[in-house]
Structure 1
Amino acid sequence: MKTMWWRDMRSLLIVPMFKCLVAICLVISLLVFVESLYMNIVVIYVKLCKRKPEKIYKWEAMQEDLELGNQNFPMVLVQIPMYNEREVFQLSIGAACRLIWPLDRLIVQVLDDSTDPTIMEMVSIECGKWATKGINIKCERRDNRNGYKAGALKQGMRHSYVKTCTYIAIFDADFQPEPDYLERTVPFLIHNPELALVQARWKFVNAKKCLMTRMQEMSLNYHFTAEQESGSTRHAFFGFNGTAGVWRLAAMEEAGGWKDRTTVEDMDLAVRVGLHGWKFVFVNDVSVLPILLDYN
């Protein structure tokens, strides 16, 4: 009797349910395949037709005004969130301070969540060194690590001097922007008021070190080319990578700023900004140097 009951339930309920789930998986797989195929077609189109962002959006190099001097350059805040980054903090701070931009129109904000007193002292000394060279650099610390990176970025936005800035560039502690990074990205935001974000690609300094770094490079290169460059060309949504991007402060504020309710604060902010109608652009020719994990 029990055996017959089980057979009836299996044939009437369990088997149809699993068939339905298999059908749903097949449909989703087909949609993912079609999307991937479409994105790769767009990538081929971009390469063949040389559809660079400069052809889609207006871009003009910044020029010093004879009457206004540097005042026609917008104020830019560079944020560097870090946590016990003994090996790379000098590289990231140094790269940010070497950015080509009028010194009186640039603020470098080091958001140091380090808990190691030695590293904290080293970061303070490094910031002080650049301050003596005329760089407007701030080393900000919290008395807790609530929200982790998102919490640090959120706290960093509360300082009064941030309100004087129009654009905000963000670099993780293991990222090193090229000196002309701001010169090549900020003009997109200046001349295209509908843009909220300019995202640069990553060019890995240790990609050839071992098999793991090569595999990471291949995966991330696909992400940049097939997903972000394709989305940018189609005026479609793509996510912020959490680093190597320049935001329009007004767009961030309209969307509610950083939220420390999640550890994927970059995608969370990008989605909210996108829902407000803002557009993003990916600039493949501008690269920032990160370090891949090799576990050695």
Structure 2
Amino acid sequence: MAILAILALLFGAVFAVCCLLLAAFIGSLLYMVVLHHRLKDAGLRREERLLSTPLPADADLPHVVVQIPSFNEGPVVRRGAESAAALDWPRDKLHIQLLDDSTDETAEMVRQVAADLRAKGFDVVALQRTDRSGYKGGALHEAMQKTPYDFFAIFDVDYIPPTDFLRVCMRPFFAEPRTAFVQARFDFLNPHENALTEMQMVTLDAHLGIEQATRCWAGHPLPFNGTCGIWQRAAIDAGGGWKGDTVTEDLDLTYRGWVKGWRALFLTTVGVPGELPADTKTWLRQQQRWQDGFRHVSMRMFPEILKSRDITPSAKLAALLHLCMALNQPVLLVGVASGILAGLLAPSLVPLLLTLFVVTVAWVLVCATTFLRAGHNFIRGGEIPPLEFAVVLVRFVGGQIATVVRSFGVHFKKMFSKPKPVVFDRTPKRGN
């Protein structure tokens, strides 16, 4: 009996630690909201100043390579390529690379789109690989070696940049030449298509409007969002280039460049619309890929950040806190399992365990609600009334539970199967 009591206390202690860690991780979102309000005015003024930087005459503008990765995307590739061709930039300095790894009829579509645009006088090339080695990161790396130019605008195939995107987003590079990349804000083509897309809109607005904007304003590490941004070659090279050994090549390169001293800019006032997954299965697969990639990068970059002598302690803390968010699900799963075991071994602990659980859940809900509403107010001006927003929050909670359940199933299967190589599970696009 003594051994069972000791085990119950140990599991209870693990449960308590997990609750505290989750409270700290989610509490960081509330801190970001506070920091956002404190830095917003100065941050927006700086953005306005950078975007008012004069551009050189057209003859002196740099060459820009627009890269559009695709994999079995179907007809949507034409819209993406044509939106790139419509960008307002000197024709002789605009170069478009269609990075296509397709294994279906999309491959022929890409070749036809490239031929059609070339016939209209655009510099468009279809770079098609016979294998997907390195996935998106591998495609970006190989394409970069095929051009001598220094600026790369990257768009997932479903995003439609406004025609003045380059005229606006290239300006900060002339004001601050050590900028690694300029990241524009996602906007959405189908935010109100159904309950799922509306929930995603609210979630991503909070991520972009609160997390990304505030990190930029505070000088914290700013992750690249994988699309709707412009990188310069020197920063990519300094970070070691694009790599395909993680499914979040954008976050990986961001941190590798950041530890080398490169900083980035997030633009809250420039939106680029793209397509949100409209079915639950596709969305859950996307979330799993992001979670897996986040953990890959976290494990890789923790030692690099800790041993760096060029990063201030406060910046290290901000980076580590950000990367620790990758531990949310593992901590939650360990906590739930430990709490159940502690309650089974010592029923007398159940009231205490339940109290701690309820307090943690309440804290998480308060932080998440404040975070999501703040992002919605900042980006959308509070267009969803409070009562309707409460329904969106319920959907958000349901979505988080679904991702945890799916993640648990994925990792449970991995425990009883042979290790498999990293696979980039690309989110399919419909072209809406």
Report the secondary structure of 1:203's partner residue. Answer: strand
Kindly provide the amino acid, as one letter, of the partner of residue 245 in structure 1. Answer: G
Report the secondary structure of 1:285's partner residue. Answer: strand
CA distance in 1, matches of 2:28, 2:34: 10
Give the RMSD, CA atoms, in angstroms.
2.0
Aligned partner (choices 4, 7, 21) of residue 10 of structure 1: 4
Is the alpha carbon distance of 1:260 and 1:188 closer, same or farther for their aligned partners in structure 2, counting shifts above 3 Å? same
Could you tell me whether the CA contact under 8 Å between 1:82 and 1:114 is conserved in 2?
yes
CA distance in 2, matches of 1:188, 1:137: 26
Q: Which has the higher strand share?
A: 1
Give 5+ residue unaligned stretches, structure 2. Answer: 280-429
Aligned partner (choices 64, 68, 77) of residue 80 of structure 1: 68
Kindly provide the amino acid, as one letter, of the partner of residue 287 in structure 1. Answer: G
- Paired position in structure 1 for 2:411: none
- Paired position in structure 1 for 2:158: 174
Could you tell me whether the CA contact under 8 Å between 1:88 and 1:174 is conserved in 2?
yes
- Paired position in structure 1 for 2:196: 212
CA distance in 2, matches of 1:38, 1:166: 37
Deviations 1:164-213 (A, max 9, x none): x1211100111111111111111112221221011111110111111111
CA distance in 2, matches of 1:167, 1:223: 26
Aligned partner (choices 122, 132, 136) of residue 135 of structure 1: 122
Report the secondary structure of 2:207's partner residue. Answer: helix
For residue 275 of structure 1, report the CA deviation from its aligned partner.
1.0
Q: How many residues align?
A: 280
Is the alpha carbon distance of 1:50 and 1:269 closer, same or farther for their aligned partners in structure 2, counting shifts above 3 Å? closer
Give 5+ residue unaligned stretches, structure 1. Answer: 1-6
Q: Percent identity?
A: 32
Kindly provide the amino acid, as one letter, of the partner of residue 108 in structure 2. Answer: E
- Paired position in structure 1 for 2:247: 263
Residue correspondence of structure 1 range 145-224 to structure 2 within 5 A: 145-159=132-146, 162-163=147-148, 165-224=149-208
- Paired position in structure 2 for 1:113: 101
CA distance in 1, matches of 2:190, 2:54: 32
CA distance in 1, matches of 2:177, 2:24: 34
Report the secondary structure of 2:188's partner residue. Answer: coil
- Paired position in structure 1 for 2:289: none
Is the alpha carbon distance of 1:238 and 1:10 closer, same or farther for their aligned partners in structure 2, counting shifts above 3 Å? farther
Report the secondary structure of 1:51's partner residue. Answer: helix
Report the secondary structure of 1:200's partner residue. Answer: strand
CA distance in 2, matches of 1:119, 1:54: 39
Deviations 1:236-259 (A, max 9, x none): 112111111111110101111111
Report the secondary structure of 2:278's partner residue. Answer: coil
- Paired position in structure 1 for 2:32: 39
- Paired position in structure 1 for 2:91: 103
Deviations 1:212-240 (A, max 9, x none): 11011111111101210110111111211
Could you tell me whether the CA contact under 8 Å between 1:61 and 1:183 is conserved in 2?
no
Kindly provide the amino acid, as one letter, of the partner of residue 9 in structure 1. Answer: I
- Paired position in structure 1 for 2:277: 293
For residue 43 of structure 1, report the CA deviation from its aligned partner.
2.5
Matched, 1:227 2:211: yes
For residue 29 of structure 1, report the CA deviation from its aligned partner.
2.9
Matched, 1:277 2:261: yes
Deviations 1:56-95 (A, max 9, x none): 757513141xxxx51x201111100001211311111011
Report the secondary structure of 1:140's partner residue. Answer: strand
CA distance in 2, matches of 1:292, 1:87: 17
- Segment drifting more, 38-47 vs 181-190: 38-47
- Segment drifting more, 42-51 vs 93-102: 42-51
CA distance in 2, matches of 1:101, 1:262: 33
Could you tell me whether the CA contact under 8 Å between 2:43 and 2:217 is conserved in 1?
no
Could you tell me whether the CA contact under 8 Å between 1:99 and 1:178 is conserved in 2?
yes
Matched, 1:61 2:54: yes
Report the secondary structure of 2:266's partner residue. Answer: strand
Could you tell me whether the CA contact under 8 Å between 2:155 and 2:229 is conserved in 1?
yes
For residue 48 of structure 1, report the CA deviation from its aligned partner.
5.4
CA distance in 2, matches of 1:52, 1:88: 37
CA distance in 2, matches of 1:32, 1:262: 23
Could you tell me whether the CA contact under 8 Å between 1:58 and 1:192 is conserved in 2?
no
For residue 46 of structure 1, report the CA deviation from its aligned partner.
4.7
Kindly provide the amino acid, as one letter, of the partner of residue 223 in structure 2. Answer: G
Is the alpha carbon distance of 1:45 and 1:51 closer, same or farther for their aligned partners in structure 2, counting shifts above 3 Å? farther
Is the alpha carbon distance of 1:188 and 1:50 closer, same or farther for their aligned partners in structure 2, counting shifts above 3 Å? closer
For residue 135 of structure 1, report the CA deviation from its aligned partner.
1.2
Q: Scaled by the length of structure 1, what TM-score is found? A: 0.88
For residue 97 of structure 1, report the CA deviation from its aligned partner.
0.7
Could you tell me whether the CA contact under 8 Å between 2:238 and 2:257 is conserved in 1?
yes
Q: Which has the higher helix share?
A: 2
Report the secondary structure of 1:114's partner residue. Answer: coil
Aligned partner (choices 6, 10, 16) of residue 23 of structure 1: 16
